[in-house]
Amino acid sequence: MTAVTVRVPAKVNVQLAVGGRRPDGFHDLANVFLAVGLYDHVTATSADGLTVTAEGRDVEGIPLDASNLAARAAIALAERHGIAPDVHLHIAKDIPVAGGMAGGSADGAGALLACDALWGLHTPMDELLRIAGELGSDVPFPLLGGAALGVGRGERLTALEAGGAFHWVFALADGGLSTPEVYRECDRLRREGGAGDLVGEVPEPAADPALVAALAAGDAHALARVLANDLQEAALSLRPALADTVAAGLGAGALAGIVSGSGPTVAFLAADAEGAAKIAGALGGRARVAPAPAAGAAVLP
Ligand code: C5P
């Protein structure tokens, strides 16, 4: 085989419960991921040495050196097998860059799977998930897709049932938000509120049973009532205009609107496909409709 293409989905966090700041700087999470039908494609081609190219909107913001998560994934997988990371990686981006939809993490997951196939390694999935978790908190989930609860930094996954079909609309923003900055702002707001921001000072994060049940039942109305993102206040604090976006989507009939992950993408849950089309129309050019749950990363035939 000389080239392998992997299709890999974006995610929305239907619940992002953020616990206290740990001594290592990360936060304990209860992170309920849902894979959505917006995809990047990662193509791995046999090469001498490691190179990365990218195409798509806003790709100027992506590093093309060894700091790219896809490149780091290739290096980590090659190291694990004691081989050289000889591959050219091409990333065709449709997931918004720095948008809170784990696009960079998706590329890391896609590169792991693509390189594994290109190099004929047949690495077991649990080993791929472990490597992914070392690369970043959000890298394992796109390998699974569907829905899952992530604990620890968010990288330790348990699959969740996701029934039916959920219709989402994503309002893409101009310019990304930095995930570490949003976490720092969350900590700052907590300290300002007087409760403190450390483990022990913040309630332990836990998955909401009502949310898990709504996901399993495929019940959009029930899910809309319990969507929750502890990073939303921080994202709104750093980007106050997002409040107008949330209001616009709700005004167009969304069941609920929530900042996706660390933002600035805003995710709207619609009652059905027609509702989603109407919300997207009202939001204008930078809105994208996407169904969920989506399947995890897969090698294309
Ligand atoms: O793991 P990942 O590289 O995606 O994390 C990016 C940044 O997000 C971390 O450096 C940290 O600032 C923040 N983060 C966190 N707690 C988590 C996950 C991420 O504070 N559980």
Q: What's the pLDDT at 131?
A: 98
Mean pLDDT for the stretch of residues 6-19: 98
- Residue of 149, 183, 202 with the most ligand 1 atoms within 8 Å of its CB, for mutation: 183
Per-residue pLDDT tens for 87-108?
A: 999 999 999 888 899 999 999 9
**Ligand 1 center from residue 219 Cα (angstroms):** 31
146 labeled binding residue: no
**Ligand 1 center from residue 85 Cα (angstroms):** 26
Mean pLDDT for the stretch of residues 251-266: 97
ipTM: 0.96
- Does 187 contact ligand 1 (Cβ within 6 A)? no
Q: Given the CA of residue 154, which atom of ligand 1 is nearest to it?
A: 21
The distance of Cα 288 from the centroid of its chain, to the nearest Å, equals: 15
- pLDDT exceeds 90 at position 285: no
Q: What values do phi and psi take at 98, rounded to 5? A: 50, 40
Mean pLDDT for the stretch of residues 259-263: 95
Confidence of residue 46 (pLDDT cuts 50, 70, 90): very high
- Does 135 contact ligand 1 (Cβ within 6 A)? no
Give the neighbor-by-neighbor strand order of the sheet with 256-259. 256-259, 266-270, 166-171, 287-292
- Does 153 contact ligand 1 (Cβ within 6 A)? yes
Domains of the chain as residue ranges with CATH: 3-161 (3.30.230.10), 166-292 (3.30.70.890)
**Ligand 1 center from residue 283 Cα (angstroms):** 30
Active site residues: 11, 138
Q: Whole-model pTM?
A: 0.96
What one-character-per-residue DSSP string does 131-147 give?
HHHHH-TTSSHHHHBSE
Per-residue pLDDT tens for 194-210?
A: 989 999 999 999 999 99
- Closest C-alpha to ligand 1, atom 20: 26
- Does 156 contact ligand 1 (Cβ within 6 A)? no
Percentage of the chain modeled with pLDDT above 70: 100
Calculate the alpha carbon distances from 39 to 35, 42, 68 in Å.
10, 10, 18
- pLDDT exceeds 80 at position 45: yes
46 labeled binding residue: no
106 labeled binding residue: yes
97 labeled binding residue: yes
**Ligand 1 center from residue 244 Cα (angstroms):** 27
